[in-house]
Amino acid sequence: MRALWVVASSLALHTRHMTRAATMTSFVTGPAGFIGTALVKVLLARGHRVYALTPSAEAAQHVRRLGAVPVIGDLREPGQWQDAAAATWVFHLPAYSSCGPRLTRKAASAIARTRATTDAHLLDALAAGGTERIVYVADARVYGATGPRPINEDEPPRRPSAWARCLTPALDRLDGYVVAGLPIVTAFPGWVYGNGSWFRERVIEPVMTDRPVLQIGTAGPWVSPIHVQDCARALAYLAERGEVGNRYFLVNNDPIRLHEFAATFARLANRPLRIRRVPAATTWFITGTALDDYRQADSLFSNIRLRGIGFRFTYPTLEEGLQQVVGELHV
């Protein structure tokens, strides 16, 4: 009899879990991006109905192919998309504006104003309640150079980057929304790699076509990486387990030298590695972006808070993550 009771209880618990999953909805901004696409796939795999904010009919096609429901709208303007935003979970992946080779104070102020406006349009629309968790995806680059040891989320930036002038004002406003009752958790991904975005452009394509990989300086700084699939899983995990008002660094356990990305990928792909070294002082002339100062200093972050709420990595090391990338290329 006890065995039958245990089986019945397990079935009832499973049924309640499946019923809840079937009714869960998620709203995602930035669904066509590198992290956003991976996140949409994770949420769909969990049984969520995913509404994805897209700026155009063309972008909506990408969302439909993933299996999500496109919601056409622009964060810079209020509109009907704000009604769809009232989902069980909301994931805000703000777009990062191009700022050219030099980030002037005027440009930084303009980006900061745009970020404040877009955040307000989304967060104000959620003020009526009903959303269980809002995961705000920020950018670890605001911390700038961290020094030789990983920092935790409670430490202030030791040498804030120029990029911090664009993003810090918006991050500071989140505290006010939390006080007002919005269930916001803030995520700071580190160096997100995988088969796409910067990693495809600067590592995969050069290595696979026998072109040189651009490397800044001789050794490269220490950085904290995370596979894009683990990053997406961690965002969903924060919606489920993250503590409201807390910040979480999304990074692997072990930091790496920046140059290890290309060297490890080339070895696992069994391809020769050709390197073109560029002096750090001349980087922006070649790459044309003010964000390349982020590639010249140690940026190390501790994931102890993320692991403390129970998250476990599928690809805990760069070696394991790049094995997945190489395997995906040969499918």
Show the domains of the chain with their CATH numbers: 22-194+225-254+299-314 (3.40.50.720)
**Per-residue three-class SS string for 5-42:** HHHHHHHHHHHHHHHHHHHCEEEEECCCCHHHHHHHHH
Q: pTM for the whole thing?
A: 0.88
> CB atoms < 10 A from the CB of 287, how many?
16
Beta bridge partners of 5: none
Per-residue pLDDT at 214: 84
CA angle 21, 23, 27 (to 5 degrees): 95
190: DSSP letter: -
Low-confidence ranges of the chain (pLDDT < 50): 1-20, 100-101, 284-292
Q: Measured between alpha carbons, how far is 280 from 144 in angstroms, rounded to an integer? A: 16
- Beta carbons of 178 and 123 less than 8 angstroms apart: no
Alpha-carbon torsion (108, 200, 298, 293), positive or negative: negative
Q: Which helix (H) or strand (E) holds 188?
A: strand 184-189
Beta carbons of 26 and 45 less than 8 angstroms apart: no
Tokens of 331: 């499918």
What is the structure's pLDDT at 59?
Answer: 87
In the chain, the N- to C-terminal Cα span, in Å, equals 50
Phi, psi of 126 (to 5 degrees): -95, 0
Chain-centroid distance, C-alpha 97: 16
Which structure tokens are listed for 134?
Answer: 């809002």
- How far is it, in rounded angstroms, from Cα 201 to Cα 207? 10
Q: How far is CA 236 from CA 23, 74, 306, in A?
A: 16, 23, 12
Q: How many residues does the chain have?
A: 331
